[in-house]
Chains A and B, each alone.
Chain A
């Protein structure tokens, strides 16, 4: 069965989700009562108006009312809810703040959405061990605020950091503009407490650097809610850099900009941030916020350096020299904090700026080997013309993470479908040049059906067997990440039998 989500008038493509179990839907009233008995009456939401809030995440083209929503207040309640649902064969969709861009928290018609928004307390700030223990519903930026006065911060800074939850960051392995130097979520985690589908509570990691046994912490990070529900997180905090300065550098071509990025990194400099914008993005941003960006350039680079003042000044000089050697035709160096922030203003409002010049926009998120950037931008330009949809590109240039913004109008019949088709072509291009489908937004439902462009059936089967180790009945967030749902029994079958090997006559042992 194909469940068409979204508003059919949008013309979005039909997203095939697991067929809802009519038996589960028929027993909804009894399930809600049972959920209330373990999580409390007010923790369970089942009226259509209130459920509407949860019908989508940041990928709002797809919407679905959940069967019910539970907002537990403790690990014990999460455990009881998961145990109950597992016993009844009810699917679970974990949800953080609902800001994800790939539909990882898209509800299921026959599934219970478990939100962690009420698990919203910071449990312990431990400066001696330079870590914070927190519940998963705390916002990313709130962690940095909590330790700011002592001179620390939490390094990963996804652009939604005001709102996105740390639990969601773990589920998505979120990055940010500073991830080249400071790493993704996975590089800044020490431990989690997690509830498995049967209700078992496990702790992996601690305040120590390393944990015994298999690295479940690393595996869970970025698993998009398919392996368990995170109920507690221990993150590393790091001392704030003493100072930061930025260079705003314009180039007459994308090639020149790309060359400059390669020479900065090849020259041994890892900037705190290294962002590139193409001509459409520069013009959209400048029209929106008047950051003073040069308008006669094809590519604009923002290079931020942080650390001790003497180091920052030294590196600023080196980057300036490299940029001039790459044919920069515009170069400004921030001399004050206000100026540094002004350089960033346009980049940080690039999405909003795009929204002003087009009714709707769609953010893509691929990663490419940086050396292929000029070619990829040229081919995206060709695709943009052939699909007749404008595309602006912003690029985490240091780590090759490309964010093309496709501009469209959802009210024009067929335009959303054309936008999604263009997006698909762009992501296929990223894989073709040696890159990947997603650098930081996750697969979710958005890129699920593109997984076979990057992974073959054997690759995907191995990933799904790992899923089976955690969730043999496939109750946790089914329909996400994997294009084809496989029963664990089928995946577990050994296709090799004694005496039936490819070369049975060769002596081996």
Chain B
């Protein structure tokens, strides 16, 4: 990356020394891996940049223990190839946001994925990145190397610090080693598509599937233009339901779901490479990669997905969106506005019990408007105290999440 002061520690010990020095002088540091998601969050003004991408390599992986330990600079693509060779996967289906921010695919690191707590379509069944983050080593803002969690799948010894590190966007610690849970990859998969449903009917269908015992592993709703780009199913809205598992089970559940949902609309299906690419595209927000307008990520209670959509379109007639997580996640391209449409987006969500994150926007908009949903005063104060407990001089990624945090 381009920075006047670029530091590239080779190991944890070197990192600890340079952080201790920065802490001593109060110099701010921007932490990066491959910098593929540097556009996510508020811009960080730092006196030096710390490139952690030299901390690479899988340290331990034994498939039958369901645990993998690696250095955080290891490319996610390398981790996925390693576990894939043992017919396993990262069940939270981590997205690759490289192209979303104008970079290349396959460059992002495991550490960056965990730091941003990024999860894909399977999140609704398997949980988020944070649910698979078992332990770590890191350097805190005092320059102290420490560890938390463990290297086994079941552990309640001490505070579960993995949870706050996941989704902390590098504002608390610099990771030096991470241990994650891995799971068997499904032998077979099938995606059923209910075509041509209006948003409220589509959400009802997704809800019916998710309330059934058929173990839905992904549930999305794409408008006609996205369906036609990603599938051979034509220009029609698609409520897509994915099932995974052993082949006889997938076959039986597909039949059962056709029975259950057949009355709600025409049922098509996609399989193989087409289905795989469809879910990867939704995971990576590929339909909105090549746009200039602000990109928002909305997390809402699944049952209000259709209502949220109606309000968003009413407030911003030119907006484009699609749903994942059974209606609980909305990706939205908002027409450009002075505040990156923050007022319109957050206004539309008011009272629905959700929140919005400005995932991609010009630097100016991210610098001056709240990228992450503003918090109530007691939580905001707690967030600042938590930040200080790891990083008392606020040297790591200062301001990435909130002003000063």
B397 CB to closest chain A CB, in angstroms? 13
- Chain A min CB distance to B233 (Å): 26
Which of A204, A262, A466, A498 is close to B24, meaning CB atoms less than 8 Å apart? A498
- Which residues of the partner chain A approach B5 to less than 8 Å between Cβ atoms? 509
Chain B contacts of A11 at CB under 8 A?
none
Residue A8 interfacial (CB < 8 Å): no
B311 CB within 8 Å of chain A? no
Contact present for A438 and B155 (CB under 8 Å): yes
A273 to chain B, nearest CB (A): 13
- What residues of A have a CB within 8 angstroms of the CB of B210 in the complex? 130, 239
Q: Is the CB of B163 within 8 A of A219?
A: yes
Residues of B within 8 A of A401 (CB): 154
Whether B276 sits at the interface, judged by CB under 8 Å, is no
A462 and B154 in contact, given A129-B301, A218-B163, A239-B213 (Cβ under 8 angstroms)? no
A465: which of B21, B62, B145, B390 is its contact (CB, 8 Å)?
A: B390
Question: B337 within 8 Å of A by Cβ?
Answer: no
Q: Which of B72-80, B100-108, B126-134, B191-199 contacts A (4 or more CB under 8 A)?
A: B126-134
Contact B64 A438 (CB under 8 A): no
* B249 touching A437, Cβ below 8 Å: no
In residues 440-487 of chain A, which contact B (Cβ within 8 Å)? 440-443, 447, 451, 454-456, 458-463, 465-470, 481
Contact of A496 (CB < 8 Å), options: B24, B131, B161: B24
Interface residues of B in 54-99 (CB under 8 A from A): 62-67, 86-88
A432 to B377, CA, bound (A): 44
What are the residues of chain A within 8 A of B246 when measuring CB–CB?
311, 314-315
Main secondary structure of the interface of A (DSSP, over half): loop
**Contact of B378 with A196 in the complex, beta carbons under 8 Å:** yes
Is B401 interfacial (CB 8 A cutoff)? yes
Taking A209-B124, A265-B66, A369-B152 as contacts, is the C-beta distance between A214 and B167 under 8 angstroms? Answer: yes
Contact (Cβ within 8 A) A314 B386: no
Which of A186, A187, A502 is close to B20, meaning CB atoms less than 8 Å apart?
A502
Q: Smallest CB–CB gap between B330 and chain A, Å?
A: 11
CA distance A130 to B23 in the complex (A): 46
Shortest Cβ distance from residue B344 to the other chain A in the assembled complex, whole angstroms: 18
Question: Cβ of B64 and Cβ of A439 under 8 Å apart?
Answer: no
User: Given that A212-B375, A367-B150 are contacting pairs, would A219 and B166 also be in contact in the complex, using a CB cutoff of 8 Å?
Assistant: no
- Whether the Cβ atoms of A439 and B156 lie closer than 8 Å is yes
Give the dominant DSSP class at B's interface. Answer: mixed
Residues of A within 8 Å of B256, CB to CB, are: 308
Measured CB to CB, the closest approach of chain A to B234, in angstroms, equals 30
Does any Cβ of B come within 8 Å of A208's Cβ? yes
Chain A contact-residue range equals 35 or more
Closest CB-CB distance, A481 to chain B, in whole Å? 7
Cβ-based interface call for B1 (8 A): no
Q: Shortest CB–CB separation between residue B171 and chain A, in angstroms?
A: 9
Q: Which chain B residues lie closer than 8 Å to A30 at the CB level?
A: none
Residues of A contacting B27 in the complex (Cβ-Cβ under 8 angstroms): 509
Known: A129-B302, A401-B154, A494-B23. A204 touches B379 (CB 8 A): yes
* Bound CA–CA A206/B155 (angstroms): 25
Q: Which of A209, A308, A310, A470 has the largest number of chain B CB atoms within 10 A?
A: A209
> Are B156 and A213 in touch, CB under 8 angstroms?
no
**A184 interface residue per 8 A CB criterion:** yes
Q: Which of A314, A370, A434, A443 meets B157, CB within 8 Å?
A: A443
Verify if B287 is at the interface (C-beta below 8 Å from A). no
- Residue pair B144, A437 in contact (C-beta under 8 Å): no
Contacts of A422 in B (CB 8 A): none
Question: Chain B 209-241, CB within 8 Å of chain A: the 1/0 string?
Answer: 011111100000000000000000000000000
B383 at the interface (CB under 8 A from A): yes
> Would A400 and B144 count as touching, CB distance under 8 A?
no
What's the minimum C-beta distance from A358 to chain B, rounded to whole angstroms?
27
Q: In the complex the two chains form, what is the Cα distance from A436 to B179 in whole Å?
A: 14
B367 interface residue, CB < 8 Å from A? no
Query: What are 23 A-B contacts with C-beta separation under 8 Å?
Result: A173-B160, A179-B154, A180-B154, A183-B131, A186-B131, A207-B301, A213-B375, A215-B130, A239-B211, A268-B184, A268-B187, A269-B184, A308-B249, A308-B252, A369-B62, A435-B150, A436-B152, A436-B155, A443-B157, A458-B146, A462-B146, A465-B390, A467-B159
What 4 A-B pairs have minimum CB-CB distances, sorted nearest first? A218-B163, A311-B249, A268-B184, A128-B303
Given A128-B303, A400-B65, A470-B382, 18 more A-B residue pairs with CB atoms under 8 Å apart are A129-B301, A151-B213, A173-B156, A180-B154, A204-B379, A213-B402, A216-B386, A219-B159, A223-B159, A265-B64, A269-B184, A270-B184, A310-B249, A399-B153, A443-B156, A451-B157, A466-B159, A498-B25
